Amino acid sequence: MKTKFILFVRYFLVLLFVYAAVSKLVVFDEFKVQLTQSPLLSAYAGSIAYMVLLIELSISLLLVLEKTKLLALYLSYGLMVAFSIYIYLILNNSDFIPCSCGGVLEKLGWNEHLWFNITVCIFTLLAIYFLDTKAKSFYFFSVLLTLISVLIVILLFVSSEHIIKKQNPFIRRYLPHGVAEKDTLDLNVNTFYFSGYYKDKVYLGNTRSPLRFISVDSLLQREDYLIKIDSTQFKYTYLRLKTAYPYFYLADGSIPIVYKGQLNTTQKTKQTEVFSFQQAYFNDFIPIDSTSVAIKGQSSQDYKNVLGVINSKNTPSVSIFPELLQSDSDGVFDSDGAFSYSQSKENLIYSYYYKNKYFITDKNLVLLKRQNTIDTTKTALITATELASGERKMTTPISAINKKVVVKNNLLFIVSNSLGQNESKAIWKQASIVDIYDFKKDSYIASFYIYHLGKEKLKDLIVTDHYLYGLFDQKLIRYRLAKSLTDKFD
């Protein structure tokens, strides 16, 4: 009876390992991608993919041979313990649970898979007990293999997490359901952009009609507003609306004037006052609080980008911080980027467009730390030529790797324009990719897809307490954020 049981376990394991190995070989590239998405083994996906196949096939061969059957059973037990600990860690210590693995167990969920593995471990251990005539060696090697298997998986997990979150070699881990599409609102025109939010209400400016804006609440109810300014004689070229509840700001940096108004009034026509006049030219700005606005401009001497703050309480009201921007070449395109502001953390984040860097300051633009994204583009690969006027023109245009950056509390949401390791170019024809970072912990969290709306790509987004809103041509789409993301808000 014992002999038949041992034989049954041996050939069951051979069937299990060979079928699993062959299933992986048939779709080997997909298998490597699945390992890349593992919350525990992402950093070692390439090596582990080959090692698992080699180990499964080698153990299968040893199981068939009579002389090595005991060794093979011990190795099988150790391997199944490692698989079991791996699944346990995914279920209990992972930021998210990926899709179940393929092969012979493709129909099982993770919990069922864990119980299957535990059952196989018990049967394998029982077969070893019947086969190994020396009780001391059985107990010693069983305990030793259990400890070694557990230790190996835990060490792989800890080191992989450190690499992915701190030293990422551009390996993305995708949340299976990072966002779920909920509702759609037809805006009728395609000239809106997000200017800010308050709780779950978003505000949208209009590039074609800069003195008009709308709000959309949690029920997707739209309200239209008109902005009244006194100085209409200026030749504005690009008036932009930014909101920082309860205030809104309207500015065109080519005209050195910033208007300020209040959102928390019942009037449909919003009155404004001059917040700043003839104090600074700029090409981008972001409100910080009721008295200060961060700006990005260009030096009048060398046209290089500079950052500054307009503070209505200070004298002088404008402070410039030329040392903040780090340049690799021309100081114009390679240092170009955009501001985000976390009101809850009172931090400004400046993200470079063309390289994998961003930095964090306090509300007074005092540098706190510099950090990197998982993209491997460390230097902006841009060539430019200087015009007679002294301005510079890009001669080899390239796409921004950080197309759009928004912040919510401690998290950065970056719409990336770069392919990571083991990623298919086909997906870029179907979706935009959003990478998420915790800028307070200096760590990469995960990524998710926002699929195109027909032929329309995502052109703008904003994140609120519970939702992500996306703009696609004339449509506003509201997505619910996964709990695994909202739990990360600090």
The count of other CB atoms within 10 Å of the CB of residue 122 is: 12
* The residue to which tokens 């209505």 are assigned: 312
Give backbone dihedrals phi and psi of 393, rounded to 5 degrees, phi first.
-125, 135
The full length of the chain comes to 490
Task: Kindly state the tokens that stand for 343.
Answer: 């009101």
Q: What is the predicted pLDDT for the residue at 375?
A: 87
**205 vs 53: CA distance, rounded Å:** 55
Task: Say if residues 204 and 213 touch (Cβ distance below 8 Å).
Answer: yes
Q: Of 342, 459, 291, which is closest to residue 351 (Cα–Cα)?
A: 342
Mean pLDDT of 273-283: 91
Task: Say if residues 304 and 332 touch (Cβ distance below 8 Å).
Answer: yes
Sign of CA dihedral 163, 168, 170, 172: positive
Task: Say if residues 388 and 380 touch (Cβ distance below 8 Å).
Answer: no
* Model confidence pLDDT, tens digit, residues 137-170: 888 999 999 999 999 888 888 877 666 666 556 7
Q: Of 423, 421, 381, which is closest to residue 401 (Cα–Cα)?
A: 381
Least confident of 77-81, 314-318, 343-347: 314-318
Q: What is the predicted pLDDT for the residue at 68?
A: 93
Question: Which residues have a Cβ under 8 Å from the Cβ of 92 and sit 6 or more positions away?
Answer: none
Which residue(s) pair with 438 in the sheet?
411, 443
Instruction: Read off the amino acid at residue 36.
Output: T
Displacement of CA 238 from its chain's centroid (Å): 31
Give backbone dihedrals phi and psi of 453, rounded to 5 degrees, phi first.
-95, 90
Q: What is the predicted pLDDT for the residue at 104?
A: 47
**99 vs 107: CA distance, rounded Å:** 11
Least confident of 50-54, 114-118, 396-400: 396-400
* Model confidence pLDDT, tens digit, residues 28-63: 776 776 676 666 666 677 778 888 899 999 999 999
Task: Say if residues 357 and 414 touch (Cβ distance below 8 Å).
Answer: no
Residue 211, pLDDT > 90, answer: yes
| 3-class DSSP assignment, residue 27 | coil
Mean pLDDT of 298-327: 88
**52 vs 152: CA distance, rounded Å:** 14
pLDDT greater at residue 73 or residue 423: 73
Summarize the chain as % helix, strand, coil (round to 5): 30, 35, 35
Q: What is the predicted pLDDT for the residue at 102?
A: 47
Q: Of 244, 335, 259, which is closest to residue 296 (Cα–Cα)?
A: 335
Task: Kindly state the tokens that stand for 121.
Answer: 């471990």
Task: Say if residues 216 and 204 touch (Cβ distance below 8 Å).
Answer: yes
Task: Kindly state the tokens that stand for 410.
Answer: 């401690």
